[in-house]
Amino acid sequence: MNFEWTTEQRALRDRVRTLLARELPPDWEHISRHGPGSPAQTAFSLDFCPKLAAEGLLVPHWPVSHGGRGAPAWEHFILGEELFAAGEPRGPQYMNVNFIGATLMKYGTPQQQARYLPGMAAGRAVWCQGFSEPSAGSDLASLATRAIQREDEYLINGSKVWTSYAGMAQTCFLLARTGAGKGGIAIFLVPMDTPGITVRAIPSLIGHGDIHEVFFDDVVVPATARLGAEGQAWAIIGYALSLERVGLARYAFSRRVLDRMVCELQARGRFVDTHVRTQAAQALAACEAARLLVYRVVDERARGLPPSAVSNVARVAVVKADHAVSDFALAYFGDALSGDGWPLVQAHHERAIAAGIASGAAEIQLNLVAQAWLQLPREPLPERT
């Protein structure tokens, strides 16, 4: 058992930090004020990610055939940890490199791979996930957006909601119903400029222009836009989510914000107060707990073990860490959250609000921990009407 980084891994961190110091502009905290899905940060990612790609730091874990160099899981993770700590200058493109790309590599046709992977590897692709619907949130399998096959094309009607990044996305990773039940769902790779798609930003507590409604009115896509077979969607989603949950380094941003707040409290002479110190340490312990549990997930992946419920355990801990730091900020930097206060703390505050909701509710994670980790019986579901 070894918790230390190798010389190569430390060198990679240094390299990423040097690149960030060079490439992030002086007003980066303002640009990243509203998070990875904001128009400002998304636009920045389209300038920043090609530079990462040029340095071989965007998709190093991808196989050589798709523009990577087959780098080990830890290398990809260290990269993500450093970038997330910095406020995620990859914007929404973190999704591409973490799981959409790998999912296309596993389930996509050669034509789909040729169409989409080069753009991701070059840092020019923005995707959104068409998952949640007005009546299908945590209960995703109840989604109602319908795709009806007509010879070699599909006619799609329905709507998606809470969709991050949709305002600037070029492509949607869309779930739609082709039949009944979980087996009646298919995935479509849909260009967002397809006629019949309407995107409307939803004013929200998080970000500016981050979450959206997306309407599909008689949208026609070719059958070749379907990812995998009809009925295979649930397995594909499971695969994608298992990758999404590897290395969720949100705690790294929380820890950075915490350190900055402590620094400021020291400058103001307030950090001599034992109450302040214990609260800061409590938040720090939450970040450390999350960090180690996320490392457990990455370690599993690095050793080639199958995904386990430890990823759900880690996600719960990550949410707790976000909230611990956010609570500390509210207690001692409430003034900085208004107006032109402190953009770094403002950004963390907004992200923490969504921490337990985005990418699947924390309560669903607790269900999975209870059932898969503790082997408790599933709560009986009511009959669907």
Partner 1 sequence: MNLEFNPDQLALLDAVERIASAHDARSVLGANHFEYSTSLQTDLDAAGIFEAAAVEELGAVAAVAMIHRLAMLPQCVELVAAALVLPLLAPDLARPCAVFWGRRDGPARWSPGARTALCVRGDIVETAMLTDADVANLDSPFGYPVGRLIEPDALSWRRLDLDAAELRRLWRLGVAIELTGCLGAALHAVVAHVRDRRQFGRPLGAFQAVQHRLAAAAVQVEAGRWLALQAAHSGCDADAACALAHAQECTPAITYDLHQFMGAMGLTLEHPLHRWTTRAKMLRADMGGAHAQQLVLAAAVWGLEVTA
User: In angstroms, what is the minimal distance from the CB of 352 to partner 1?
Assistant: 18
Residues of this chain, 337-376, that bind partner 1 according to CB under 8 A: 363, 365-367, 369-371, 373-376
The two structure tokens encoding residue 45: 């990612």
Q: Taking CB under 8 A as the rule, does residue 381 contact partner 1?
A: no
How many other CB atoms sit within 10 Å of the CB of residue 275? 8
Any contact of residue 225 with partner 1 (CB under 8 A)?
no
**DSSP code of residue 248:** -
Nearer to partner 1, 27 or 363 (CB): 363
Least separation, in Å, of the C-beta of 268 and partner 1?
A: 14
Shortest separation between residue 356's beta carbon and partner 1, angstroms: 12
- Residue 331, interface with partner 1 (CB under 8 A)? no
Q: How far is the CB of 309 from partner 1 (least distance, A)?
A: 9
Instruction: Tell whether residue 379 is a contact of partner 1 (CB under 8 A).
Output: yes
Question: What CA–CA distance (Å, rounded) separates 79 from 85?
Answer: 10
Kindly state the smallest distance separating residue 109's Cβ from partner 1, in Å: 36
Residue 292 corresponds to which amino acid?
L
> Would you tell me how many other CB atoms lie within 10 Å of the CB of residue 203?
7
Task: Report 286-315 residues binding partner 1 (CB under 8 A).
Answer: 288-290, 292-293, 295-296, 298-299, 302-303, 310, 313
Contact 173, 128 (CB under 8 A): yes
* Among 1, 210, 197, CA closest to 91: 210
> In 3-state terms, what secondary structure has residue 169?
coil
Contact between 138 and partner 1 (CB under 8 A)?
no
> From CA 7, how far away is CA 313, in angstroms rounded?
30
CA–CA separation, 79 and 58 (whole Å): 9
Distance CA 108, CA 106 (A): 6
- The reply on whether position 328 binds partner 1 by CB under 8 A is no
252 lies in the binding site for partner 1 (CB under 8 A): no
Stretch 172-211: interaction string toward partner 1, x if CB under 8 A: ----------------------------------------
Task: Tell me: does residue 131 bind partner 1 (CB under 8 A).
Answer: no
Question: Which residues fall within 8 angstroms of residue 384, CB to CB, at 6 or more apart?
Answer: 142
List binders of partner 1 among 259-278 (CB under 8 A). 259, 262, 266, 271-272, 274, 277-278
> Other C-beta atoms within 10 Å of 368: how many?
17
Minimum distance between the CB of residue 59 and partner 1, rounded to whole angstroms? Answer: 21
Tokens of 85: 């700590």
Q: Please report whether residue 157 would count as binding partner 1 according to CB under 8 A.
A: no
The DSSP output letter for 305 is: P
> Looking at beta carbons only, is 114 or 376 nearer to partner 1?
376
Q: Which is nearer to partner 1, 33 or 301 (CB)?
A: 301
Secondary structure (3-state) at 225: helix
283 CB-side CA count, 13 A: 27
Question: 211 near 162, Cβ under 8 Å?
Answer: yes
Question: Which uninterrupted H or E stretch holds 150?
Answer: strand 146-150
Q: Which is nearer to partner 1, 324 or 336 (CB)?
A: 324
For 376, which DSSP code?
Answer: P
Residue nearer to partner 1 on the CB measure, 211 or 284: 284
- Among 285, 330, 331, 334, which residue sits at the site for partner 1 (rule: CB under 8 A)? 285
Q: 3-state DSSP call for residue 163? A: strand
Q: Which is nearer to partner 1, 203 or 269 (CB)?
A: 269
What are the residues binding partner 1 (CB under 8 A)? 1-5, 9, 74, 259, 262, 266, 271-272, 274, 277-278, 280-282, 284-285, 288-290, 292-293, 295-296, 298-299, 302-303, 310, 313, 316-317, 320, 363, 365-367, 369-371, 373-380
